[in-house]
């Protein structure tokens, strides 16, 4: 199976040698940059990840001679496996696609790259965003510094990171009022993740607003049901009849979750809701 076929195949249908195919493409300097970027993006899927893939991605992130775009995407591709490993905590090593040694090495090198002023700023930003998927002791200070930076992109990275790193409730609530649409979106997601009561009225306005853009509306639905599952149904009735199928599905899923939280329905692992 070649790279193009992999790109058009669901990860659960990828062959056993997917990691080798992707590694070959990532390492092939004769390939067009676009193709190598595609290989790196696919390699970030948990299905394709292993110690060898992680090591190659980490090498690219730290390689000062590699194109900056490759370095940024390689950093981003390591985020999902860091989060997965952090959640699993290696209680069952076979359940995690990378070893604990690789996990620790990624965290260590990411911290070194982030604090290295010679590393391009956009690479450092992406390193921060990827590394917070597995929160470390150095992250609160890094996130705080990024949030107070005068550059909007650093502030965006900080608010993104706040969905993973605890202790920034006030900053998240403040970011909900940001005129920057991307920062606003990340603040909504973070507020939902930490179930911030202070965000509730803001989310209600988004749910009832006629001009709320689709990505923000979907994020608001998920955040609102996390904060007040017992009350969210009142604000989702109209959305359940929305003309956009994605919004309808999100509203119905949120209402089903809210009903389950209230004990009105049960979730079964095999049957779903019944």
The total number of structural domains in the chain stands at: 2
> What's the pLDDT tens digit per position in 57-102?
999 999 999 999 999 999 999 999 999 999 999 999 889 999 999 9
My answer on whether 242 and 120 are in the same domain is no
Return all residues near 53 (Cβ < 8 A) that are at least 6 apart.
Answer: 19, 22, 23, 43
* CA atoms of 190 and 159, how far apart (whole Å): 8
The tens place of each residue's pLDDT in the chain, 274 residues long, gives: 789 999 999 999 999 999 999 999 999 989 999 999 999 999 999 999 999 999 999 999 999 999 999 999 999 999 999 999 999 999 998 899 999 999 999 999 999 999 999 999 999 999 999 999 999 999 999 999 999 999 999 999 999 999 999 999 999 999 999 999 999 999 999 999 999 999 999 999 999 998 999 999 999 999 999 999 989 989 999 999 999 999 999 999 999 988 887 665 554 554 444 3
Asked, for residue 263, whether it belongs to a domain, the answer is yes
Q: Which domain holds residue 257?
A: 195-274
* CA atoms of 191 and 223, how far apart (whole Å): 7
* CA atoms of 209 and 104, how far apart (whole Å): 45
Asked, for residue 248, whether it belongs to a domain, the answer is yes
Asked, for residue 144, whether it belongs to a domain, the answer is no
Total count of residues recorded for the chain: 274
Asked, for residue 108, whether it belongs to a domain, the answer is yes
Residue ending a domain, choose from 136, 167, 185: 136
Residue ending a domain, choose from 115, 136, 157: 136
Please give the model's pTM, rounded to 2 decimal places.
0.91
My answer on whether 5 and 130 are in the same domain is yes
Four-point Cα dihedral 152, 156, 161, 163, nearest 10: 140
């Amino acid at each position: 199976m070649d790279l193009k076929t992999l790109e058009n195949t669901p990860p659960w249908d990828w062959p056993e040698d997917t990691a080798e195919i992707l590694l070959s493409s990532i390492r092939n300097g004769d390939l067009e940059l676009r193709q190598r970027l595609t290989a790196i993006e696919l390699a970030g899927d948990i299905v394709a990840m292993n110690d060898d893939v992680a090591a190659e991605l980490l090498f690219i992130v730290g390689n000062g001679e590699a194109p900056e775009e490759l370095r940024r995407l390689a950093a981003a591709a390591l985020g999902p496996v860091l989060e997965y490993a952090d959640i699993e905590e290696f209680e069952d090593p076979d359940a995690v696609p990378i070893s604990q040694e690789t996990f620790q090495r990624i965290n260590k090198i990411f911290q070194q790259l982030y604090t290295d002023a010679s590393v391009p700023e956009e690479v450092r930003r992406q390193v921060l965003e990827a590394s917070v998927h597995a929160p470390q002791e150095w992250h609160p200070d890094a996130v705080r510094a990024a949030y107070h930076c005068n550059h909007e992109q650093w502030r965006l990275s900080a608010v993104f990171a706040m969905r993973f790193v605890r202790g920034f409730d006030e900053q998240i609530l403040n970011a909900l009022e940001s005129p920057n649409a991307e920062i606003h979106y990340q603040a909504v997601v973070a507020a939902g993740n930490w179930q911030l009561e202070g965000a509730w009225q803001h989310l209600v306005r988004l749910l009832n607003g006629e001009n709320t853009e689709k990505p923000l509306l979907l994020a608001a639905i998920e955040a609102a049901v996390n904060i007040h599952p017992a009350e969210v149904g009142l604000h989702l009735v109209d959305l359940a009849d929305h003309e956009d199928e994605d919004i309808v599905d999100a509203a119905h899923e949120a209402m089903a979750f809210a009903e389950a939280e209230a004990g009105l329905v049960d979730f079964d692992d095999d049957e779903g809701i019944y």
